[in-house]
């Protein structure tokens, strides 16, 4: 499904160009963000560290947690611009439910989201849950950065492949 143009603006509300992006559960343009706050949620420490390192190197401010409950608490406090969630977080809150709960918080109803999963039905599950992007594990760092760039309306860096939205 194709969405309308994303028109990033600077701090003064002036347009900074535009790009087209897939429109999932996000409604309307995403404001220009120079250094987006990304909440990374994965119960596997190695994966969480790899995702965090990749996003930090790409210029994001990253907060990483290991479970759904921590994700909810952190989202309330940090107000992330983007979510990166593992679908299989386990009991009591998996990635699907964490996304629903976070989007139920005032001001985060339309926060863009990226699902990462090693599940065979991960793409279908992510789509049903309302994620905007899906990346299979092991997660390709270039695809992750591409998804962030698309969410922010930035041009693709160095001709990298774009993730499936």
Q: What is the CATH number of the domain that holds 46?
A: 3.40.50.2300
Q: Has residue 134 been placed in a domain?
A: yes
Pairing of strands 37-41, 82-86: parallel
- Residue of 72, 58, 63 lying closest to 40 (CA atoms): 63
Q: What's residue 129's pLDDT?
A: 96
Q: What is the per-residue burial (b if ≥16 Cβ within 10 Å, else e) of 34-44? A: eebebbbbbbe
Please tell me the predicted confidence (pLDDT) of residue 66: 96
- Domain residue limits at 69: 35-152
Tell me phi and psi for residue 104, to 5 degrees: -85, -5
Taking only the tens place, the pLDDT of each residue in 51-88 is 999 999 999 999 999 999 999 999 999 999 999 999 99
Q: Which of 67, 69, 63, 66 is nearest to 83 (CA)?
A: 63
Q: What is the pLDDT of residues 28-37, one digit of tens each?
A: 445 566 789 9
Q: Using omega within 30 degrees of 0 as the cis cutoff, is the peptide bond preceding 138 cis?
A: yes
List pLDDT tens digits, range 116-147. 999 999 999 999 999 999 999 999 999 999 99
Asked whether residue 96 is assigned to any structural domain, the reply reads: yes
- As for how many domains the chain has, the answer is 1
What's the pLDDT score for residue 159?
Answer: 52
């Amino acid at each position: 499904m194709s969405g309308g143009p994303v028109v990033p603006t600077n701090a003064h509300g002036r347009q900074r160009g535009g790009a087209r992006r897939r429109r999932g559960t996000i409604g309307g343009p995403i404001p220009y963000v120079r250094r987006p706050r990304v909440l990374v949620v994965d119960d596997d420490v190695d994966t969480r560290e790899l995702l965090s390192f990749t996003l930090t190197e790409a210029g994001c401010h990253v907060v990483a947690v290991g479970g759904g409950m921590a994700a909810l608490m952190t989202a309330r406090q940090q107000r992330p611009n983007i979510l990166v969630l593992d679908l299989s977080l386990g009991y009591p809150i998996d990635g699907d439910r964490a996304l629903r709960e976070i989007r139920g918080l005032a001001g985060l109803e339309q926060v863009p989201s990226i699902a990462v999963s090693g599940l065979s039905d991960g793409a279908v599950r992510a789509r049903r849950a309302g994620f905007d992007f899906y990346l299979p594990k092991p997660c390709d760092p270039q695809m992750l950065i591409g998804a962030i760039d698309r969410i922010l309306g930035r041009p693709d860096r160095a001709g990298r492949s774009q993730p499936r939205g």
